[in-house]
Every structure is written in C-alpha cells, then in structure tokens.
Chain A
Amino acid sequence: MDKPTLLLLILVLTTAGYYFGRKRSLDIVSGKVQELHSLPSYYGYYLAMWVGVPTLLLLLIWLGFEGAVLSRLVVADLPGELQGDSGERAALLINEIRNTMAGAGSGSGDPSIQAAANHYRHLQAVSDWLLSLGVIALAALGGWFGHRQIEVEQRARNKVEKGTMVFLIACSTIAIFTTVGIVLSVVFESVLFFQKVPVTDFLFGLRWSPQMAIRADQVGSSGAFGAVPLFTGTLLISFIAMVVAVPIGLMSAIYLAEYASPRVRTVAKPLLEILAGVPTVVYGFFAALTVAPYIRDLGQSLGLDVSSESALAAGLVMGVMIIPFVSSLSDDFINAVPQSLRDGAYALGATQSETIRQVIIPAALPGIVGGILLAVSRAIGETMIVVMAAGLSANLTANPLAAVTTVTTQIVTLLVGDQEFDSPKTLAAFALGLVLFLVTLMLNIAALMIVRKYREQYE
C-alpha cells in the first residue's frame, strides 16, 4: 500500500474505533447511559485515540526516516568504485538514482546506476509493505487494548479532555519551534559572518561597501561592512515617518473618538483603515514615481539640491502608511478610557478640549505610546517603500534630502541574484537581519509591556 492509501486506511480504522468504542460502552450497561461515567461518544473518542494516535505516529516517524535509511542501504550496496569517499559524491549519486527511478533519464546510461535504481525501488516496496503491516498491527493492538479498557467506571471523558489538551499544546509548540528555528538559523549564519568580519567593525564601521574580491588583485578587493550608515538611514527614514504619522494619526484618533458623530465614525474609521490594507509595493511606486519627483522639483524651485531618491520621499510615504496603525490603536485606547473619567472632568466644568488634553490623553498615554512603539517597529522593518524610493547608496548623513539606504533594503540587495552562500557579502544579510530582529523584538516587548500595564490599570 502506498502512503495516501495508508493514511485513508488509518482514518477509516479510527472512525471504526469510534463506533466500536461507543457501541462497547453501550453494550456494557445494556443501553443505560446514566450508569456510565462518561457519555458514550467519549468512549468512542477514547478508542479512536487508541487506534489513530499510535498509527499516525508510526506513519510520521517512518516518513521521517525512510528516505535516509533506504539511501544508505542502496549506497552501501553499490559497487566500490562508485561509492567514492566524499559525502557530496554520495548525495549526487542518490540524486542520480532517484532521477533514474522517476524516469527522468539523466545519466541512465550507467548500468550499475540502473541496477541501483531497481534495488532502490525494491527496497521501497518492501518498506511500504512493512509499514502497512506495522500500521495494521498497531491499529489492531491499540484497538484491542482500548476496547478492553472500556468499563463502566472508566473515566473516558477526562482522558479524552487530556488528549485534546496535548494536541493543542503540540499545535502551539509548532509555531514556537518555527520561530526558534528561524532565530537559530539567523544566529548561526551571523556567527559565520562574524568569523570573517569582526563584530566591532560591523556595528561601528562607518563605511558600507559589501563586495568581495573574486580575484585577489581586484580593485577595491576588500569589502567594507560597517553598518552604521544603514542604521542611521533606517533611523532617519523611520524618524521622518513618525513625524508624519504620530501627529496625524493621534489627532485623527482624537477626532474620531471624541468629536466625530457616530455616523461619521462608522464611515471614517474603516476608510482610514483601508490605508493599512494598501500593499506596500503600491506605496513604494507611489513614493518613487509621484512623491520623490515632486519633492525634487519643489526642492529645485527653492534652490535646494534634492536627489531624485530621497529619504524624505520614502519617509513621508511610509508615514502615511503607518497613520492607520497609530490612529487605530490610539483610537482604541482613547475609547478604553472609562466614560466615568470624562464625566468627572465635565462635572467639574472642564470643556471638551480641556478634558481631552488634561484627562483623556494622560489616561490613554501608556497605550498610545505602546501603539507608537509598535508603529516604529513596523517602520524599521518596512522594506518595499525604501527599496523603491530611498535609493541604495549608503550615505552617512542626516540630510533628509539625500539618498540613504536602510537595513532592510541592503538585505534585499545582498540576496538578490546569484549568491555564494559562504561569502561575507551574503552572510552580512543574516547579520543585518539579526540586528533588525533584535531591535524590533525589543520594541515590541517594550510596547507590549506598556500596553499590558495600562490594561491592568483600567481592568
């Protein structure tokens, strides 16, 4: 049996287990459900668990190890001259054998490869057969055991509940382990990078020129990996974005939460949130094709020297993109300020703007700050707009009219095109990614801590 059929079989067996478990429980008490500890369906689930879980585990484990074991067996049986000595060659061989099996035909000329392919196919069949046998045996064993366990006093419900909990834990662990895996891979690659380029050079170097010599005598053979221009570029653009987003977002939030009539609010708030739904690449070409030339023309008419790709253009558009973040979160937090505080201020004779400035904003401030921090981390991590509108030149400047580049942009450019995975140029991307990750992580944690503290204050 091949694997999909086997999976189907397991499902069928599990369903059967459910029905037999249910029936068994009813038979025990001859239909008097009240005498059972749990409802009959729980006994069904219980038996189904005994059938389904071990067999599925077996299937998964088998799938995990089958390829490696079979390959090893096939390679071991190859004639000595083909085996070679390096692991890489073995991997190539396996690929070739598999291709032959699939009938792709590349390298099928070699008879020994052909033989190996046949051998492989044979082993595969045996493995499938063994697996089917194992699954059926395990299902039978589990079914028998579970069936025997069903008694009047058996606490099937509690066990099924526990089983459900374990399943849910497993699901959440997958998400956590994926994150941990990503972090670890970034960290390992970064360590490789730092073996080639010292950490201090990376963090404090003032020149960014990430190329490596292919020939030793090439001009500019030594690349420079000082990330400071990237950091300052990122900060500059984020700063411009926040200068745009925070006042506009906050004030629109105040308007929506405090002044707007319910009708205006129901229309305006979703409209504002549409901004958040615009794909960033659209913002990107808007910034590059509309805003940047406009700013350049404006600058020229004022006699300023503006590069066609400027931090200002990217920052402005990014700020617009972030407005809904700030306004939506601030709006939520302003609304979360209890009505009783407003009443208290009004009852003292405060006007609406006094109430907002002196009572509501201070009360909502922690939440607003948290929302702004989240927006900042979003701005730092933003890529598309900057790639398209801010340029690629790593200038160390605070002039918003100049072209700058950011961490994310550089990661993109480093990884676009053909890469050598052991050159510092490529590995630098991982180091930059690690820095980015740490910074946004800290911002997020800070934001969440502030927000949580605020939540506790007003239940």
Chain B
Amino acid sequence: MNSLLELKTAMRDERTEVKPAKRLGTNVSFDRDYGDTVGEVTASNARMVCRDVNVFYGPKQAIHGVNLDIGRNEVIALIGPSGCGKSTFIRCLNRMNDTIVGCRVTGSIQLDGQDIYDPQMDVVPLRAQIGMVFQKPNPFPKSIYENVAYGPRIHGLTQNKAELEEVVENSLRRAGLWDEVKDSLDQPGTSLSGGQQQRLCIARTIAVNPEVILMDEPCSALDPIATARIEQLIDELRMQFTIAIVTHSMQQAARVSQRTAYFHLGKLIEVGETAQVFTNPRHQLTEDYITGRFG
C-alpha cells in the first residue's frame, strides 16, 4: 500500500511539474553544437543519449547527424512524414538495423552511459534491456502463455515454473490483458483480436523487464477503441519504463507523449515539449507538417 501511495505521489509530482525555462526555449544555452535541430535535445535525466547518429543503407544516407536524449520515465514521440527516417532511427536504438544487410550506423548511442554500438556489446542482453513493439501485432505461433514466457525463457530469468507463471501473470496484468485471457492461456496468441494481440506483444516485451520500450507505430493496425487502450497502457507503463514511440498519428503523439521530435528527410528538425510543439512549433517545417500543409 505504501509503495503504491508513493508511486501516486510521484505521478502527481511529475504531471504538475512545470519547466518555464524550457517552454519558451529561447534562452536555453547549449554547451555543444547540436546541428540545426531546434529545441532542447538534451534531457536532464537522460537514459539514452544519441550523438551525431548517421545511418546509411549502402551508399544512401537515411539519417543525418541526429542528436537526441531520451529521458527517464518519459514518452518521446517521433513524428514526421513517410520516409523521414523516424522508424530507421528507432530501430537503431536496439540495433534492430543489424539484421538489415548493408545498413551502417555511425555516431554514438548510449544506454545509461554505455555505448550500445561498442564492438564488445552483446546484442542479446541489449535487446532484453531495450524491448520493441512493432507496427503489426506479431504474436508467435504459440499459446498466449508461451508467447509471454518466451523472453524470460531464452534469457533464463526465472528459476522454476512457479516463478515463470508469476512473471507471465504480472506481465499480462501490466499490459491490461490478464482479465481477458486468464482463462484461455493455452489458446494460440493469434486467436486474439488485433488490439489484444498488440497488448500481448507489449506483455511479451515487458516480461523480460526492459529499461526502454521502443514502439514502431503500435496502433496503426488497430481501431480507435483498441488504440485508446494501448494509449492508456503507454501512459501507465511510463512510470516504470522509458518509451519511444514512432507514430503517424499526430493526435496520438499529442495524447501519449511528453516530448515530441519531428524528423524530416533524415534530419531531426525540432524537438520539444509536446504541448509546445503542438501549439507553437518553432520550425516552419514542423508547423507545416503538424497543421497539414504538406504530407
């Protein structure tokens, strides 16, 4: 009970916290040159720090010198027109681009101070630390239980069956799916509805207890009600995880995120508090994009 109370207090503090200096943004001094990006790319409590990130697909450069911090317990939304590199960028954060032939990443991306592109870095535990949820719900062709248990199994996170069951139940509860599936854990994951499948995928991701969750357009295949459930879930998960979400829906970015980053042609154009970006974007390109003046 006590810890819950503390959590709630913490939540309230977080929500009411106002940062006037940041909101106006004009008098923030940068200790380094962060390229042409407008707005505050650094975060005081950064969990991931990306500096001068470039991504190449063969000879073609997809991302140009992106600097961005992702703060603790924040939801950062990456928006931008199709092909602007936001998905490419988010896939750099857990080295999913490794699986693409001919993809090269330069610059540094740090998770809690450790460079994830260090040659010594093992991607297997890294990806357990940085989970990812995809555009299309992709439950494995296994039962609901096995889907959630998969991650803890391959990483050996649990000692015995009881522990595993606890992890599965916990993850499903946190994903808001437990009440709907607790009687059908042995049913295939693909038998669920689209929104349930996506929540199952989120449960699967949080079952390995990651520090960061990346979401690549998690609601683009879902109806508005299922979308609202996922958004509510994202808001709850924010307390324990750091979340970066790529979305095509600006309204969704506005609803779920605390910070918004606008990408355009592989460059990070503007980043700032979501409320500021959506009421008073400072870069003309951001303004044109969010108001629907080009696509």
Q: Is the CB of A348 within 8 A of B204?
A: yes
> Does A29 make an interface contact (CB < 8 A)?
no
Q: Is the CB of B134 within 8 A of A343?
A: yes
How many A residues have CB within 8 A of the partner chain? 21
Closest B residue to A366 by CB, please name it: B141
Q: Is the CB of A261 within 8 A of B127?
A: no
* Minimum distance in angstroms from A342 CB to a CB of chain B: 8
How many B residues have CB within 8 A of the partner chain? 29
Q: Is the CB of B141 within 8 A of A340?
A: no
Interface centre among A346, A347, A362, A457 (most CB of B within 10 A): A347
Q: Is the CB of B154 within 8 A of A347?
A: no
Assembled-state Cα–Cα distance A261/B100 (Å) = 11
Q: Is the CB of A349 within 8 A of B155?
A: yes
Q: Is the CB of B138 within 8 A of A348?
A: no
* A-chain residues with CB within 8 Å of residue B135 when the two chains form the complex: 340
Residue in A261, A342, A362 whose beta carbon sits within 8 Å of that of B142 in the complex: A362
* B-chain residues with CB within 8 Å of residue A363 when the two chains form the complex: 140-141
Tell whether A349 pairs with B208 under 8 Å between CB atoms, given A358-B150, A359-B140, A457-B190.
Answer: yes
Assembled-state Cα–Cα distance A334/B127 (Å) = 24
Closest B residue to A361 by CB, please name it: B141
Tell whether A347 pairs with B96 under 8 Å between CB atoms, given A358-B150, A457-B190.
Answer: yes
* A-chain residues with CB within 8 Å of residue B260 when the two chains form the complex: none
Residue in A338, A350, A354, A457 whose beta carbon sits within 8 Å of that of B138 in the complex: A338
* B-chain residues with CB within 8 Å of residue A347 when the two chains form the complex: 94, 96, 127, 131-132, 134, 205
- The digit string for A110-141, where 1 denotes a CB below 8 A from any CB of B, is 00000000000000000000000000000000
Residue in B139, B142, B154 whose beta carbon sits within 8 Å of that of A354 in the complex: B154
Interface residues of B in 106-143 (CB under 8 A from A): 123-128, 131-132, 134-136, 138-142
* Minimum distance in angstroms from A344 CB to a CB of chain B: 4
> Does A298 make an interface contact (CB < 8 A)?
no
* A-chain residues with CB within 8 Å of residue B4 when the two chains form the complex: none
* B-chain residues with CB within 8 Å of residue A344 when the two chains form the complex: 134, 138-140, 201, 204
> Does B99 make an interface contact (CB < 8 A)?
yes
Interface residues of B in 133-164 (CB under 8 A from A): 134-136, 138-142, 150-151, 154-155
* Minimum distance in angstroms from A138 CB to a CB of chain B: 61
> Does B225 make an interface contact (CB < 8 A)?
no
* A-chain residues with CB within 8 Å of residue B123 when the two chains form the complex: 349
Q: Is the CB of A348 within 8 A of B205?
A: yes
Q: Is the CB of A340 within 8 A of B140?
A: no
Q: Is the CB of A345 within 8 A of B140?
A: yes
* A-chain residues with CB within 8 Å of residue B154 when the two chains form the complex: 348-350, 354, 358
Residue in B99, B101, B128, B190 whose beta carbon sits within 8 Å of that of A348 in the complex: B128
* A-chain residues with CB within 8 Å of residue B142 when the two chains form the complex: 362
Residue in B101, B132, B134, B141 whose beta carbon sits within 8 Å of that of A261 in the complex: B101
* A-chain residues with CB within 8 Å of residue B94 when the two chains form the complex: 347
* A-chain residues with CB within 8 Å of residue B132 when the two chains form the complex: 343, 347
Assembled-state Cα–Cα distance A342/B127 (Å) = 14
Closest A residue to B216 by CB, please name it: A343
* A-chain residues with CB within 8 Å of residue B134 when the two chains form the complex: 340, 343-344, 347
> Does A109 make an interface contact (CB < 8 A)?
no
* Minimum distance in angstroms from B153 CB to a CB of chain A: 9
* Minimum distance in angstroms from A134 CB to a CB of chain B: 64
Q: Is the CB of B141 within 8 A of A348?
A: no
Q: Is the CB of A346 within 8 A of B127?
A: yes
Residue in A261, A349, A351 whose beta carbon sits within 8 Å of that of B151 in the complex: A349
Closest B residue to A351 by CB, please name it: B124
Q: What is A's interface to B at a CB cutoff of 8 Å?
A: 261-262, 338, 340-351, 354, 358-359, 362-363, 457
Given contacts A341-B141, A349-B128, A363-B141, 4 further A-B contacts (CB under 8 A): A343-B132, A343-B138, A348-B151, A349-B124
28 pairs, CB–CB < 8 Å, chain A vs chain B: A261-B101, A262-B101, A340-B134, A340-B135, A340-B136, A340-B138, A341-B140, A342-B99, A343-B134, A344-B204, A345-B150, A346-B99, A347-B94, A347-B127, A347-B134, A347-B205, A348-B128, A348-B204, A348-B205, A348-B208, A349-B123, A349-B126, A349-B151, A349-B155, A350-B124, A358-B140, A358-B154, A457-B190
By Cβ-Cβ distance, the 10 closest A-B pairs, closest first, are A347-B132, A349-B127, A340-B138, A349-B128, A344-B138, A363-B141, A348-B151, A349-B124, A340-B136, A359-B140
